Structure 1
Amino acid sequence: MYRYGILLLKPFTSCDFCFQGLVEIIGLTEKFTFNPKEGIDNPVMVITEDTDSVPTPSPRLCVLKREEGESYGFRLRVERGRQGHIIRNVELGGVARCSGLQDGDRLLEVNNCFVDDVPHPEVARKIKLSGNQLCLLVLDVEAYEQAMSQGQDLQGLAKAHKGKGCKPPRLCHIIRDPVSGLGINFTPVEGEKGRFSVNLVTGGAAEKAGVCKGDRLVWMNGATVSDLSHSALSRMMKKCGNHITILVTDSESEKNYMRQKMPILPTMAVPHNLPYRARKLHMVSGPEGYGFLLQLEKAPSGRTSHVLREMDRGSPAERAGMQDGEILLEINGESVETLTHEEIVDRVRKSGQKVSLTSITPQGLEFYTQLGLSPLLFCEDDAAEKEKESCVRATEAEESAQKEMDGLRKARLCSLQKGPLGFGFNLGCVPQSPGTFISQVAFGGSGQSAGLLVSDVVMEVNGQNVEEKYLEDVIMLVKEGGCFLSLLVMDKTSYNKMKQANAPTRDATDSEQEEENCEISSL
């Protein structure tokens, strides 16, 4: 067991990152040659700087593709006395070199996102999260230095290269409506294999999820559709079940992407209606630390994760919005995927009195894993909301005492009437264990109107206690209620605290056996 009371954003010390992939050059840098003989016989000629005669620097688009486990074959650096994010150590015969990336190139964009003015660690993070395909917009050394000396707007230069009408794609999650279904179908673009136009049901699920009429389908449930026939796409639709995640773009933007020979990637997308998002939690250490446990756990799937557990009431962790059972993804912007439990604890110790954690629910991690995407691509930052402190409350001690008194009142009775979306929620459970929780709440449905929240623990169904019942039994009780349903629920953190307070003391043997199977740290 470890308990810490300090954590701070860890200063980033390294400015050298190694990446790996395949690049296509779009556009060439123009060269200007001055002829000294021109005008030499003119006695009134005055040599001045003629900015109109200097060509505008032309960026190059580099599209890198690598195989699983392969390196992109370059390093990204920040160097003292030099401006910009600099491409270095381009490996001979590597993906970057074969694609045209050159030593000294300055990085302007990563996957259509301007990064020249972005901190170096964040740029490196964007590249790492891109997966096995990456789009870089670069300027060579001379062009970059020329642009900087002339005070040119590099972001405007990047936009001019892409042209007008090149909007980011949209990653849309569609949940089937009981009446109108998914509200979407696809028509092949005539004469062009692997391109599909979107048709929508007006006011249907797809339209509500951010899909627009006439959009072009790029990607479905993790699979690029460019190599699919219409019949294969139809089979995929039939197998998708009650929900589907697609990547779409408008037809004009698609033309621009094709003109530039740029792939349309989920990493470029704006998310719409995604059911799960990773969250950033910012905490300042209190007198007794952060008030949560970090536990190494093995899921039934075999995946080992660092799990956030047992938030103390009124602790910095609870105030930051941490939820019991969430999986830790990052600490101070650094991925924990390859870190051991001890290494994470060490980083906590060295952070100072502040820490930033990125976490996601187990269901959310499974969602992104099935799509083949990193859950860190789409992240909510709760800092602004969670830092609000009420100056009118008496004292922290009084607030904590009041919370203790209100603990049992956190259970909520939610009355629902079946509508077009049914009851508008899904139930989930821990495999082979009793107890159920709300796993999904449909937007605009009865469940949302009644106040149900994702992760709420279901305590009673129509007045009958179901805390020790299995999912199948709970579903039967829900169905037996007909068109009306009454649920007694409690948020997961409060429920776990309540059960912990009422739980009998375990003997030493039980505790020792449990700790042999996991690593736990109090933070």
Structure 2
Amino acid sequence: MPSGRVLLRLSKALGFEGDRTAIVKFEFNPKDGIDNPALSLAEDTDGEAAGEPRFYLLSKGSAETFGFCLHEELGGRGHVVRQVELGGLAQRRGLQDGDRLLQVNGRFVDHLDHQRVVQRIKASGNQVLLAVLDGDSYEAAKALGRDLAQLLPADVRPRLCHVRRDKNGFGFSVSGPEGTKGLFQLSVRHGGPADRAGVPTGSWLLELNGASVRSCSRAQLARKLKQSGSKMTLLVASGAVEEFYRLRGLQVPAAAADASWLPYKARELHMVKGPGGYGFLLKEDDYGAGAIGQFLWEVDAGLAAERAGMREGDRVLAVNGESIEGLDHQQTVLRIRAHEDWVTLLVIDPASDEFYRSLGLSPLLFLEDGDPASGSCTPSLPSPHGSPGLCHVDVGPKGPGSWLVAAANSITITQSPRKEEQRWLHEAF
């Protein structure tokens, strides 16, 4: 089995009729560098006492895995860490069998269903910040009716801000200890571009345009700032947030950032099918670095798609509240057709898509609990009058290697001018 493959398995526990166990497997890859995994002990500890949440930042290579399974166990509670691979990344960081997952990248997840938590981990890519509680403490807290969210710090997220220069500059200045690399504190001019972009005065600069500044001297940072041109993206943290991570020996991850100040956001489109269908085409195409995406085209004037705010070139991120990351064209179409007369799409425009790609981040990372595809329930939409259109499939002359195009009530597979060796995206960490 390929390294990093996610397995979502439904099984029946012995002796319990109808029992279900949902498992997400993060497989151990020996390339992690342990010569003798059997002798490995947890090398990093956070210092939290028993009964308190523990925080782990797991960073892996693109061909590696996190080295644990995440279970949803019928008759049990919470998202349970199981099968921690001996010598694997998770085990070396201190994750233990039976731990309950409370947070992913600073977002509380105990109340979310299993698949939503999986989606959050998948969206995180090669680095994820986890907060867990040991199993005994979790069960004791549940028995007492405690709010588990109250066990976690109120807000220890950094802030991601996009600043556009005006005629007076970016509206901030940088200071730091002389002769010390990587320590840059920002003073922000009230009402200036940085202030309007959400940069708090007195915050510490962690990243510039997706790159860490930890190893930069003041002269190097000054050059990078000048090279940014008319706009730049800053990852910043308050003193309290910086201290929280520093005391635990953790880097502050951009994946855990508060991105509410960013002008680039995904959009949710609610559509009810009319007699003429939804009025758009879904096309599969490359969107950089060999990745394959599902794009919206040929939006018909006056129909449901246009009324919902669909724009040509939008990329689909989720259908009916579920991420389509790793799904192929036909699987995406089936999800769009899951309900005969309505659909909810989460989409992102090309400029916003390019912004997140330039930072190496998924836009799905920054959906809050009330946002689409983040764990909220898909709304019930009214049914239109009339019958939905029939669906048909026309297969192109060269089969599944062809360009894929789907209309709202039909799927057409036609020949693509692209080469035969196009890559298909599969579910994998």
Q: Structure 1, residues 427-480: CA drift from partner, whole Å, max 9, x if none?
A: xxxxxxxxxxxxxxxxxxxxxxxxxxxxxxxxxxxxxxxxxxxxxxxxxxxxxx
Deviation readout 1:66-123 (Å, 9 max, x if unpaired): 1222111112121100011111121222111111111111111222222212222222
Q: How does 1:215-234 map to 2 (within 5 A)?
A: 215-234=203-222
TM superposition shift of 1:156? 1.6
CA distance in structure 1 between the partners assigned to 2:61 and 2:360 by the alignment: 14
Distance in 2 (CA, whole Å) between partners of 1:108 and 1:340 is 31
RMSD (CA atoms): 3.4
Alignment of 1:90-101 (within 5 A): 90-101=84-95
User: Is 1:131–2:125 an aligned residue pair?
Assistant: yes
Q: 1:324 aligns with which of 281, 294, 312?
A: 312
1:373 pairs with 2:367: no
Provide closer, same or farther for how the CA distance between residues 103 and 184 of structure 1 changes in structure 2, counting only shifts above 3 A. Answer: same
Q: How far did 1:352 drift?
A: 4.3
**Superposition pairs for residues 253-292 of structure 1, below 5 Å?**
253-292=241-280
- Mapped contact 1:292–1:311 kept (Cα < 8 A): yes
**Map of 1:8 onto structure 2:** none
Equivalent position of 2:157 in the other structure: 168
SS at match of 2:119: helix
C-alpha separation in 2, matches of 1:256 and 1:138: 16
Q: Distance in 2 between matches of 1:298 and 1:121?
A: 26
What is the identity, as a one-letter code, of the residue corresponding to 1:170?
Answer: R
Task: From the two aligned structures, give the one with the greater helix fraction.
Answer: 1
Partner of 1:18: 25
Residue 357 of structure 1 and its aligned partner are, at CA, apart by 1.6
Once residues 210 and 334 of structure 1 are traced to their aligned partners in structure 2, the CA distance between those partners, rounded to angstroms, is 30
Q: Which whole-Å CA distance do the structure 2 matches of 1:20 and 1:209 have between them? A: 40
Question: Which of 141, 144, 148 is the equivalent residue of 2:142?
Answer: 148
Q: 2:68 aligns with which of 64, 70, 74?
A: 74
In the alignment, is the contact (CA less than 8 A) between 2:181 and 2:215 conserved in 1? yes
Question: Any gaps of 5 or more consecutive residues in structure 2?
Answer: 1-19, 33-41, 387-396, 409-429
Q: Which residue of 1 aligns with 2:405?
A: 520
What is the SS of the residue equivalent to 2:73?
coil
Deviates more, 1:197-206 or 1:83-92: 197-206
Query: 1:136 and 1:186, CA in 2 relative to 1: closer, same or farther beyond 3 A?
Result: same
Looking at structure 2, the residues matched to 304 and 271 of structure 1 have their Cα atoms a distance apart, in angstroms, of: 25
Distance of 2:206 and 2:78 partners within structure 1: 33
Opposite residue 245 of structure 2, the aligned amino acid is Y
Matches within 5 A, 1:242-261: 242-261=230-249
Deviation at 1:180, TM superposition (A): 0.7
CA distance, structure 1, for counterparts of residue 74 and residue 274 of structure 2: 38
Q: Which runs of at least 4 in structure 1 moved beyond 4 Å after TM superposition?
A: 20-23, 298-304, 379-384
Task: Give 2:106's match in structure 1, choosing from 109, 112, 120.
Answer: 112
Q: 1:207 aligns with which of 167, 192, 195?
A: 195
Cα distance in 2, alignment partners of residues 111 and 301 from structure 1: 25
Residues 218 and 344 (structure 1), Cα distance of their counterparts in 2 relative to 1, 3 Å cut: same
Measure the CA separation in 2 of the matches of 1:273 and 1:190. 31
Secondary structure of the corresponding residue to residue 271 of structure 1: coil
Change (3 A) 1:209 1:311: same
TM-score normalised per structure 2 = 0.74
The alpha carbon displacement at 1:191 in A equals 7.0
Query: Are the equivalent residues in 1 in contact too, given 2:21–2:73 (CA < 8 A)?
Result: no
Q: 1:304-349 deviations in whole A, cap 9, x for unaligned?
A: 5322112233322223211122122222344444333222223333
Q: CA deviation at 1:16?
A: 2.4
Percent of aligned pairs sharing the same letter: 42
Specify the SS of the correspondent of 2:251.
coil
Q: Would you say the 8 A contact 1:173–1:272 is kept in 2?
A: no
Letter of the structure 2 residue corresponding to residue 135 of structure 1: L
**Which of 47, 56, 63 pairs up with 1:27?**
47
Aligned partner of 1:236 in structure 2 is 224
The structure whose Rg is larger is: 1
What secondary structure sits across from 2:81 in the alignment?
strand
* Equivalent in the alignment of 1:357: 345
Corresponding residue SS for 2:152: helix
**Deviation (angstroms), 1:27:** 3.3
Q: Which amino acid aligns with 1:26?
A: D
Instruction: Tell whether the 8 Å contact from 1:72 to 1:95 is kept in structure 2 after alignment.
Output: yes
Unaligned runs of 5+ in 1: 1-12, 31-56, 390-394, 398-511
1:29 deviation in Å? 4.8
- CA deviation after TM superposition for structure 1 residue 388, in Å: 12
